[in-house]
Amino acid sequence: MLPALRTAAGAELLAIAARDGERARELAGRYDVPRVHADYAALLADPDVDAVYLPLPNSLHLPWTLRALAAGKHVLCEKPLALNATEAREMAEAARSAGRLLMEAVMYRFHPRMRELAASLAATEIRHLFASFGFPIRRLDSYRLRPELGGGALLDVGCYVADLARWLLGEPERVEAVVHRGVVDMSCSALLGFAGGAQASLYASFESPTYQELAVVCADRVERVQTPFTAWRDPDDPYRLMVEAFGAAVREGAPPPLPIESSIANMALLDRIRDAAGTPDAR
């Protein structure tokens, strides 16, 4: 995100804050960020900051988004937007009350390759969609393995595969799921049923080899995409495109390019998957 914020047209990377002041200074030096604030509250008090990117662990998205909105800042919040749909609705209402933009940073949606695929499938009958996102976590102290921080594969990478299924197929009528649990949910598989008979199979994992795949079985063809979520090293940087689209909406007073209602619906689907698997709420 820092390279994207630095190079995006219409954006100025002005300030940074971190729990570790030395780390903040090191990042500021690497990416030419002119201001380093002592803490998050100090950054929000900076009158020259119009919008913030919030990359904190999942459990901190709600409180710091609310604080940022109350401080008059627009917010680009790292995915998943919240721990559950209830939190997401609270955040959306706070944004409406503050008259500020709130958008979930679902960067893959801004990649031209994915947009072109979605457009090409819009008039096609999809029979089945398979989406996966998995990678191994080897550090046992990873924040992704801490339940109190909203860790777990369903929120961390399941949000991608769920969002992709909704983007291409709409909202499912039926949800079935199984989860393998460790200290958090380590792997999750879900089967979704849609009106008209389409189906989706989703897989999210912290205990697989690094693995991403999308396969869409249509009535007339099969579309396959490797690394559908993290193809940012090619000429089209979805992070930069996302920042530019978000910034343009802020300047023009337009709705966010990724509607907050879509993010709420995605959290609601993750809640349904969690319920179907019989696992506890992310709180």
Contact 104, 87 (CB under 8 A): no
Among the listed residues 67, 81, 46, the one whose alpha carbon sits nearest the alpha carbon of residue 162: 81
Phi, psi at 172, each rounded to 5°:
-75, 150
What are the angstrom distances between the C-alpha of 4 and each of 150, 159, 231?
Answer: 26, 22, 14
* Sign of torsion over alpha carbons 72, 77, 82, 86: positive
What are the angstrom distances between the C-alpha of 233 and each of 61, 90, 236, 238?
Answer: 27, 35, 8, 9
Q: Judge whether 73 counts as a catalytic residue.
A: no
Question: Catalytic pick from 74, 79, 100, 144?
Answer: 79
The catalytic residues are 79
